[in-house]
Amino acid sequence: MISKVERKIAFRYLKPKRKEGFLKVISIFSFTGIALGVAILIIVMSVMNGFRTELINKILGFNPHVIVKPYERGISKKDFDKISELKENISRSAFTFNGQGILINRQNTTGVLIRSTANDDIHEINLIKNGIIDGSLESFKKGTVSIGKELSISSDLLVGDEITLMSTSSIQTPFGSLPLQEKFIISSIFSTGLAEFDQNVIFIPFENANSLFELSDQDIDLEIFLKKPEKAQAFKDQVQNLLMEHYVYSWADLNKSFFGALKVERNVMFIILTLIIIVAAFNIISGLTILVKNKTKEIAVLRTLGVSKQSISKIFFLTGFTIGFFATITGIIIGILFSYYIEEIRILITSIFNIRLFPEEIYFLSQMPSEINLGYITIIFIFSLLITFLATIFPSISAAKLDPIKALKYE
Protein backbone atom coordinates (compact mmCIF):
# COMPACT_ATOMS: atom_id res chain seq x y z
CA MET A 1 0.00 0.00 0.00
CA ILE A 2 1.02 3.59 -0.58
CA SER A 3 0.99 5.79 2.53
CA LYS A 4 -0.37 9.32 2.78
CA VAL A 5 3.15 10.77 3.05
CA GLU A 6 4.30 8.92 -0.06
CA ARG A 7 1.29 10.22 -2.00
CA LYS A 8 1.87 13.78 -0.82
CA ILE A 9 5.54 13.78 -1.86
CA ALA A 10 4.74 12.14 -5.22
CA PHE A 11 2.10 14.75 -6.06
CA ARG A 12 4.54 17.53 -5.10
CA TYR A 13 7.00 16.14 -7.65
CA LEU A 14 4.26 16.32 -10.28
CA LYS A 15 4.48 20.11 -10.02
CA PRO A 16 8.07 21.00 -10.94
CA LYS A 17 9.49 24.24 -9.57
CA ARG A 18 10.07 27.19 -11.89
CA LYS A 19 13.79 26.42 -12.15
CA GLU A 20 12.88 22.90 -13.30
CA GLY A 21 11.16 24.12 -16.47
CA PHE A 22 12.80 21.49 -18.69
CA LEU A 23 11.37 18.76 -16.45
CA LYS A 24 7.93 20.32 -16.83
CA VAL A 25 8.26 20.26 -20.62
CA ILE A 26 9.16 16.55 -20.57
CA SER A 27 6.18 15.80 -18.32
CA ILE A 28 3.86 17.64 -20.72
CA PHE A 29 5.30 15.74 -23.69
CA SER A 30 4.90 12.45 -21.82
CA PHE A 31 1.29 13.22 -20.97
CA THR A 32 0.44 14.49 -24.46
CA GLY A 33 2.20 11.63 -26.22
CA ILE A 34 0.39 8.89 -24.29
CA ALA A 35 -2.98 10.66 -24.55
CA LEU A 36 -2.65 11.12 -28.32
CA GLY A 37 -1.38 7.56 -28.77
CA VAL A 38 -4.36 6.11 -26.90
CA ALA A 39 -6.82 8.42 -28.70
CA ILE A 40 -5.44 7.61 -32.16
CA LEU A 41 -5.45 3.89 -31.39
CA ILE A 42 -9.12 4.03 -30.29
CA ILE A 43 -10.13 6.12 -33.33
CA VAL A 44 -8.39 3.84 -35.84
CA MET A 45 -9.74 0.65 -34.26
CA SER A 46 -13.26 2.13 -34.08
CA VAL A 47 -13.18 3.11 -37.75
CA MET A 48 -11.84 -0.28 -38.84
CA ASN A 49 -14.41 -2.15 -36.71
CA GLY A 50 -17.15 0.11 -38.03
CA PHE A 51 -15.99 -0.37 -41.60
CA ARG A 52 -16.05 -4.15 -41.23
CA THR A 53 -19.46 -4.21 -39.50
CA GLU A 54 -21.05 -1.79 -41.97
CA LEU A 55 -19.66 -3.67 -44.93
CA ILE A 56 -20.95 -6.99 -43.56
CA ASN A 57 -24.39 -5.48 -42.94
CA LYS A 58 -24.54 -4.11 -46.48
CA ILE A 59 -23.36 -7.37 -48.00
CA LEU A 60 -25.78 -9.45 -45.92
CA GLY A 61 -28.63 -7.07 -46.63
CA PHE A 62 -28.08 -7.27 -50.38
CA ASN A 63 -26.67 -10.73 -51.04
CA PRO A 64 -28.03 -14.13 -49.94
CA HIS A 65 -26.44 -15.86 -46.97
CA VAL A 66 -26.29 -19.29 -48.64
CA ILE A 67 -26.47 -20.05 -52.38
CA VAL A 68 -27.28 -23.39 -53.98
CA LYS A 69 -25.94 -23.49 -57.53
CA PRO A 70 -26.95 -26.27 -59.97
CA TYR A 71 -24.14 -28.49 -61.17
CA GLU A 72 -25.20 -31.18 -63.65
CA ARG A 73 -28.96 -30.63 -63.38
CA GLY A 74 -31.38 -27.97 -62.21
CA ILE A 75 -32.68 -27.65 -58.68
CA SER A 76 -35.82 -29.77 -58.43
CA LYS A 77 -38.86 -29.53 -56.17
CA LYS A 78 -37.52 -32.56 -54.30
CA ASP A 79 -34.31 -30.65 -53.58
CA PHE A 80 -36.28 -27.66 -52.37
CA ASP A 81 -38.36 -29.88 -50.07
CA LYS A 82 -35.16 -31.25 -48.50
CA ILE A 83 -33.98 -27.74 -47.67
CA SER A 84 -37.42 -26.89 -46.29
CA GLU A 85 -36.72 -29.38 -43.51
CA LEU A 86 -34.31 -26.76 -42.13
CA LYS A 87 -36.97 -24.02 -42.19
CA GLU A 88 -36.41 -23.11 -38.53
CA ASN A 89 -33.13 -21.48 -39.63
CA ILE A 90 -34.45 -19.88 -42.83
CA SER A 91 -35.82 -16.35 -43.03
CA ARG A 92 -36.76 -16.62 -46.72
CA SER A 93 -35.59 -18.27 -49.92
CA ALA A 94 -36.01 -17.58 -53.63
CA PHE A 95 -35.05 -18.92 -57.02
CA THR A 96 -32.90 -16.31 -58.74
CA PHE A 97 -30.82 -15.59 -61.79
CA ASN A 98 -27.61 -13.56 -62.03
CA GLY A 99 -25.99 -12.75 -65.35
CA GLN A 100 -23.61 -10.36 -67.05
CA GLY A 101 -25.00 -7.85 -69.52
CA ILE A 102 -24.36 -4.53 -71.22
CA LEU A 103 -26.43 -1.40 -70.67
CA ILE A 104 -26.75 0.72 -73.80
CA ASN A 105 -27.85 4.32 -73.36
CA ARG A 106 -27.59 6.71 -76.30
CA GLN A 107 -23.87 6.53 -77.13
CA ASN A 108 -22.81 5.03 -73.79
CA THR A 109 -22.30 1.36 -72.94
CA THR A 110 -21.70 -0.02 -69.45
CA GLY A 111 -21.12 -3.55 -68.18
CA VAL A 112 -23.64 -4.49 -65.48
CA LEU A 113 -24.74 -7.41 -63.32
CA ILE A 114 -28.35 -8.32 -64.08
CA ARG A 115 -30.32 -9.85 -61.20
CA SER A 116 -33.80 -11.31 -61.17
CA THR A 117 -35.96 -13.38 -58.81
CA ALA A 118 -38.58 -15.92 -59.88
CA ASN A 119 -41.32 -14.18 -57.89
CA ASP A 120 -40.13 -10.65 -58.75
CA ASP A 121 -40.01 -10.00 -54.98
CA ILE A 122 -37.44 -7.21 -55.12
CA HIS A 123 -39.36 -5.51 -52.31
CA GLU A 124 -38.23 -8.33 -49.98
CA ILE A 125 -34.67 -6.99 -50.10
CA ASN A 126 -34.65 -4.42 -47.30
CA LEU A 127 -31.69 -2.45 -48.65
CA ILE A 128 -33.61 -1.92 -51.90
CA LYS A 129 -37.01 -1.42 -50.30
CA ASN A 130 -35.68 1.20 -47.85
CA GLY A 131 -33.26 2.72 -50.34
CA ILE A 132 -35.59 3.87 -53.13
CA ILE A 133 -34.71 7.49 -53.88
CA ASP A 134 -36.75 7.96 -57.05
CA GLY A 135 -39.70 6.10 -58.58
CA SER A 136 -41.50 3.21 -56.88
CA LEU A 137 -41.21 -0.55 -56.58
CA GLU A 138 -44.95 -0.71 -57.31
CA SER A 139 -44.06 0.10 -60.92
CA PHE A 140 -41.62 -2.80 -61.18
CA LYS A 141 -43.19 -5.05 -63.83
CA LYS A 142 -42.47 -6.54 -67.25
CA GLY A 143 -40.39 -4.19 -69.40
CA THR A 144 -39.08 -2.12 -66.49
CA VAL A 145 -35.85 -2.12 -64.47
CA SER A 146 -34.59 -0.80 -61.15
CA ILE A 147 -31.04 0.61 -61.15
CA GLY A 148 -28.58 1.93 -58.57
CA LYS A 149 -27.90 5.58 -57.77
CA GLU A 150 -24.26 5.55 -58.90
CA LEU A 151 -25.18 3.94 -62.22
CA SER A 152 -27.92 6.51 -62.83
CA ILE A 153 -25.45 9.34 -62.17
CA SER A 154 -22.59 7.94 -64.28
CA SER A 155 -24.94 7.09 -67.19
CA ASP A 156 -27.11 10.23 -66.80
CA LEU A 157 -30.32 8.24 -66.33
CA LEU A 158 -33.62 9.19 -64.67
CA VAL A 159 -36.85 7.40 -63.88
CA GLY A 160 -38.84 7.07 -67.10
CA ASP A 161 -35.77 6.93 -69.37
CA GLU A 162 -35.48 4.11 -71.89
CA ILE A 163 -32.41 1.86 -71.98
CA THR A 164 -31.35 -1.24 -73.87
CA LEU A 165 -29.91 -4.32 -72.18
CA MET A 166 -27.76 -6.73 -74.16
CA SER A 167 -27.17 -10.23 -72.81
CA THR A 168 -24.48 -12.87 -73.31
CA SER A 169 -26.99 -15.11 -75.13
CA SER A 170 -27.30 -14.90 -78.90
CA ILE A 171 -29.75 -15.54 -81.68
CA GLN A 172 -29.01 -16.88 -85.14
CA THR A 173 -29.88 -14.55 -88.04
CA PRO A 174 -29.13 -14.52 -91.79
CA PHE A 175 -26.28 -12.16 -90.90
CA GLY A 176 -24.81 -14.50 -88.29
CA SER A 177 -25.04 -14.79 -84.51
CA LEU A 178 -26.25 -11.62 -82.75
CA PRO A 179 -26.57 -11.02 -78.99
CA LEU A 180 -30.08 -10.81 -77.57
CA GLN A 181 -31.21 -7.39 -76.45
CA GLU A 182 -34.38 -5.77 -75.15
CA LYS A 183 -35.56 -2.26 -74.34
CA PHE A 184 -36.61 -1.30 -70.80
CA ILE A 185 -38.05 1.68 -68.94
CA ILE A 186 -36.43 2.71 -65.63
CA SER A 187 -39.13 2.38 -62.94
CA SER A 188 -37.05 3.17 -59.84
CA ILE A 189 -33.59 4.16 -58.61
CA PHE A 190 -32.20 2.75 -55.35
CA SER A 191 -29.30 3.58 -53.06
CA THR A 192 -27.90 0.83 -50.82
CA GLY A 193 -25.03 2.93 -49.46
CA LEU A 194 -22.61 0.43 -51.03
CA ALA A 195 -21.15 2.17 -54.06
CA GLU A 196 -20.06 -1.05 -55.78
CA PHE A 197 -23.63 -2.39 -55.85
CA ASP A 198 -25.19 0.94 -56.77
CA GLN A 199 -22.84 1.23 -59.74
CA ASN A 200 -23.10 -2.28 -61.18
CA VAL A 201 -26.41 -3.98 -60.33
CA ILE A 202 -29.69 -3.86 -62.28
CA PHE A 203 -32.90 -5.68 -61.32
CA ILE A 204 -35.23 -6.89 -64.06
CA PRO A 205 -38.45 -8.97 -63.92
CA PHE A 206 -37.95 -12.72 -64.21
CA GLU A 207 -40.06 -12.88 -67.36
CA ASN A 208 -37.65 -10.51 -69.11
CA ALA A 209 -34.60 -12.35 -67.76
CA ASN A 210 -36.02 -15.59 -69.16
CA SER A 211 -36.39 -14.18 -72.66
CA LEU A 212 -33.22 -12.07 -72.62
CA PHE A 213 -30.95 -14.93 -71.52
CA GLU A 214 -32.99 -17.92 -72.74
CA LEU A 215 -32.78 -19.46 -69.29
CA SER A 216 -32.63 -23.17 -68.56
CA ASP A 217 -33.05 -24.95 -65.21
CA GLN A 218 -29.26 -24.99 -64.74
CA ASP A 219 -29.17 -21.18 -64.88
CA ILE A 220 -31.44 -20.80 -61.85
CA ASP A 221 -29.87 -20.59 -58.36
CA LEU A 222 -31.57 -21.02 -55.01
CA GLU A 223 -30.72 -18.16 -52.65
CA ILE A 224 -31.35 -18.61 -48.93
CA PHE A 225 -31.53 -15.88 -46.29
CA LEU A 226 -31.02 -16.99 -42.69
CA LYS A 227 -32.41 -15.72 -39.42
CA LYS A 228 -28.85 -15.78 -38.05
CA PRO A 229 -26.39 -14.95 -40.87
CA GLU A 230 -23.38 -15.57 -38.64
CA LYS A 231 -24.27 -19.29 -38.69
CA ALA A 232 -24.17 -19.43 -42.50
CA GLN A 233 -21.12 -21.70 -42.59
CA ALA A 234 -22.73 -24.39 -40.42
CA PHE A 235 -25.99 -24.15 -42.36
CA LYS A 236 -24.08 -24.44 -45.65
CA ASP A 237 -22.57 -27.72 -44.48
CA GLN A 238 -26.03 -29.06 -43.62
CA VAL A 239 -27.40 -28.12 -47.05
CA GLN A 240 -24.37 -29.59 -48.81
CA ASN A 241 -24.97 -32.91 -47.08
CA LEU A 242 -28.58 -32.88 -48.28
CA LEU A 243 -27.76 -31.80 -51.84
CA MET A 244 -24.56 -33.60 -52.77
CA GLU A 245 -25.20 -33.08 -56.50
CA HIS A 246 -25.18 -29.28 -56.27
CA TYR A 247 -22.57 -26.71 -55.33
CA VAL A 248 -23.34 -24.86 -52.08
CA TYR A 249 -21.47 -21.81 -50.78
CA SER A 250 -22.06 -19.00 -48.29
CA TRP A 251 -21.48 -15.27 -48.15
CA ALA A 252 -18.41 -15.95 -46.00
CA ASP A 253 -16.88 -18.10 -48.76
CA LEU A 254 -17.36 -15.32 -51.31
CA ASN A 255 -15.70 -12.70 -49.11
CA LYS A 256 -13.19 -14.82 -47.17
CA SER A 257 -10.03 -13.22 -48.55
CA PHE A 258 -11.43 -9.71 -48.25
CA PHE A 259 -12.45 -9.98 -44.60
CA GLY A 260 -9.25 -11.93 -43.86
CA ALA A 261 -7.25 -8.99 -45.21
CA LEU A 262 -9.29 -6.56 -43.07
CA LYS A 263 -8.55 -8.61 -39.95
CA VAL A 264 -4.81 -8.72 -40.68
CA GLU A 265 -4.78 -4.98 -41.39
CA ARG A 266 -6.61 -4.24 -38.14
CA ASN A 267 -4.12 -6.29 -36.10
CA VAL A 268 -1.12 -4.73 -37.83
CA MET A 269 -2.49 -1.22 -37.25
CA PHE A 270 -2.95 -2.04 -33.55
CA ILE A 271 0.69 -3.10 -33.27
CA ILE A 272 2.03 -0.11 -35.22
CA LEU A 273 -0.01 2.49 -33.37
CA THR A 274 0.91 0.95 -30.02
CA LEU A 275 4.46 2.09 -30.78
CA ILE A 276 3.22 5.67 -30.30
CA ILE A 277 2.38 4.85 -26.68
CA ILE A 278 5.71 3.07 -26.20
CA VAL A 279 7.65 6.07 -27.57
CA ALA A 280 5.69 8.38 -25.27
CA ALA A 281 6.48 6.08 -22.34
CA PHE A 282 10.20 6.67 -22.94
CA ASN A 283 9.51 10.31 -22.11
CA ILE A 284 8.32 9.16 -18.69
CA ILE A 285 11.61 7.30 -18.20
CA SER A 286 13.56 10.41 -19.23
CA GLY A 287 11.46 12.67 -17.01
CA LEU A 288 11.76 10.45 -13.94
CA THR A 289 15.49 9.99 -14.46
CA ILE A 290 15.99 13.77 -14.57
CA LEU A 291 13.68 14.15 -11.57
CA VAL A 292 15.77 11.66 -9.60
CA LYS A 293 18.95 13.61 -10.44
CA ASN A 294 17.31 16.91 -9.44
CA LYS A 295 15.96 15.48 -6.19
CA THR A 296 19.18 13.75 -5.09
CA LYS A 297 19.52 15.96 -2.02
CA GLU A 298 15.85 15.55 -1.03
CA ILE A 299 16.07 11.77 -1.46
CA ALA A 300 19.16 11.70 0.77
CA VAL A 301 17.40 13.78 3.44
CA LEU A 302 14.36 11.51 3.34
CA ARG A 303 16.58 8.46 3.70
CA THR A 304 18.41 9.95 6.71
CA LEU A 305 15.01 10.70 8.28
CA GLY A 306 14.21 7.00 8.12
CA VAL A 307 12.23 6.72 4.91
CA SER A 308 12.84 3.25 3.49
CA LYS A 309 14.13 2.39 0.03
CA GLN A 310 10.76 0.85 -0.73
CA SER A 311 8.98 4.13 0.07
CA ILE A 312 11.37 6.11 -2.15
CA SER A 313 10.69 3.65 -4.97
CA LYS A 314 6.92 3.99 -4.42
CA ILE A 315 7.12 7.80 -4.52
CA PHE A 316 8.78 7.91 -7.95
CA PHE A 317 6.70 5.04 -9.24
CA LEU A 318 3.50 6.88 -8.24
CA THR A 319 4.77 10.07 -9.91
CA GLY A 320 5.34 8.40 -13.27
CA PHE A 321 2.31 6.14 -13.10
CA THR A 322 0.02 9.09 -12.32
CA ILE A 323 1.14 10.82 -15.51
CA GLY A 324 0.49 7.67 -17.52
CA PHE A 325 -2.85 6.94 -15.86
CA PHE A 326 -4.40 10.36 -16.39
CA ALA A 327 -2.92 10.57 -19.89
CA THR A 328 -4.58 7.23 -20.72
CA ILE A 329 -7.94 8.40 -19.32
CA THR A 330 -7.67 11.64 -21.31
CA GLY A 331 -6.78 9.72 -24.47
CA ILE A 332 -9.77 7.39 -24.02
CA ILE A 333 -12.17 10.33 -23.62
CA ILE A 334 -10.76 12.10 -26.71
CA GLY A 335 -10.79 8.87 -28.72
CA ILE A 336 -14.41 8.02 -27.83
CA LEU A 337 -15.66 11.54 -28.56
CA PHE A 338 -13.78 11.70 -31.87
CA SER A 339 -15.03 8.24 -32.88
CA TYR A 340 -18.63 9.12 -31.99
CA TYR A 341 -18.64 12.32 -34.06
CA ILE A 342 -16.24 11.17 -36.78
CA GLU A 343 -18.72 11.58 -39.66
CA GLU A 344 -19.51 15.16 -38.60
CA ILE A 345 -15.77 15.87 -38.29
CA ARG A 346 -15.17 14.39 -41.75
CA ILE A 347 -17.87 16.61 -43.26
CA LEU A 348 -16.43 19.68 -41.50
CA ILE A 349 -12.87 19.01 -42.71
CA THR A 350 -14.14 18.29 -46.23
CA SER A 351 -16.05 21.59 -46.36
CA ILE A 352 -13.18 23.65 -44.93
CA PHE A 353 -10.29 22.23 -46.95
CA ASN A 354 -12.30 21.00 -49.96
CA ILE A 355 -10.74 17.52 -49.89
CA ARG A 356 -12.30 14.05 -50.00
CA LEU A 357 -11.33 12.02 -46.94
CA PHE A 358 -13.50 9.00 -47.69
CA PRO A 359 -14.06 8.45 -51.45
CA GLU A 360 -17.09 6.18 -52.03
CA GLU A 361 -15.60 4.49 -55.08
CA ILE A 362 -12.58 3.33 -53.06
CA TYR A 363 -14.13 2.42 -49.71
CA PHE A 364 -17.54 1.26 -51.07
CA LEU A 365 -19.44 3.14 -48.33
CA SER A 366 -21.05 6.58 -48.54
CA GLN A 367 -20.30 7.51 -44.90
CA MET A 368 -17.30 7.01 -42.66
CA PRO A 369 -18.35 4.26 -40.23
CA SER A 370 -17.32 3.97 -36.60
CA GLU A 371 -18.04 1.31 -34.00
CA ILE A 372 -16.93 1.95 -30.43
CA ASN A 373 -15.99 -1.44 -29.00
CA LEU A 374 -15.71 -1.52 -25.20
CA GLY A 375 -13.62 -4.69 -25.40
CA TYR A 376 -10.95 -2.99 -27.51
CA ILE A 377 -11.01 0.12 -25.32
CA THR A 378 -10.43 -2.06 -22.25
CA ILE A 379 -7.50 -3.79 -23.96
CA ILE A 380 -5.99 -0.42 -24.97
CA PHE A 381 -6.48 0.91 -21.42
CA ILE A 382 -4.78 -2.10 -19.82
CA PHE A 383 -1.99 -2.13 -22.42
CA SER A 384 -1.28 1.59 -21.93
CA LEU A 385 -1.14 1.19 -18.15
CA LEU A 386 1.15 -1.82 -18.54
CA ILE A 387 3.57 0.19 -20.70
CA THR A 388 3.46 3.03 -18.16
CA PHE A 389 4.07 0.57 -15.33
CA LEU A 390 7.13 -0.88 -17.05
CA ALA A 391 8.43 2.60 -17.91
CA THR A 392 8.41 3.71 -14.26
CA ILE A 393 10.15 0.65 -12.78
CA PHE A 394 13.75 1.49 -13.76
CA PRO A 395 13.80 5.14 -12.55
CA SER A 396 12.01 4.14 -9.33
CA ILE A 397 14.57 1.43 -8.56
CA SER A 398 17.40 3.85 -9.39
CA ALA A 399 16.00 6.37 -6.91
CA ALA A 400 15.75 3.73 -4.19
CA LYS A 401 19.37 2.65 -4.71
CA LEU A 402 20.70 6.17 -4.15
CA ASP A 403 23.26 6.22 -1.30
CA PRO A 404 22.35 9.12 1.07
CA ILE A 405 25.96 9.47 2.32
CA LYS A 406 27.37 9.94 -1.17
CA ALA A 407 24.48 12.18 -2.13
CA LEU A 408 25.04 14.58 0.80
CA LYS A 409 28.82 14.47 0.60
CA TYR A 410 28.95 16.92 -2.31
CA GLU A 411 26.14 19.23 -1.16
The predicted-structure confidence for 63-116, as pLDDT tens digits, reads as follows: 788 888 887 788 887 887 888 778 788 888 888 888 899 998 877 888 899 998
What is residue 184's predicted lDDT score, i.e. its pLDDT?
A: 92
* Distance from C-alpha of 350 to C-alpha of 368, rounded to nearest angstrom: 12
Cβ neighbours of residue 66 closer than 8 Å, sequence gap 6 or more: 223, 224, 226, 232, 235, 236, 239, 248, 249, 250, 251
What percent of the chain clears pLDDT 90, i.e. is strictly above it?
8
Which is nearest to 366 in space by CA: 76, 162, 131?
131
pLDDT at 334: 94
Q: Return the pLDDT at 108.
A: 80
pLDDT tens-digit series, residues 291-305: 777 767 777 777 777
pLDDT at position 146, please? 92
The H or E element that residue 384 is part of is helix 374-400
In this prediction, residue 336 carries a pLDDT of: 93
Q: 10 Å Cβ neighbour count for 129? A: 12
Distance of CA 151 to the CA centre of its chain: 25
Residues 6+ apart with CB under 8 A from 260: none
pLDDT of 331 reads 92
- 3-class secondary structure, 386: helix
pLDDT in tens, 331-354: 999 999 998 888 888 888 778 877
Q: What is the pLDDT of residues 254-263, one digit of tens each?
A: 777 777 777 7
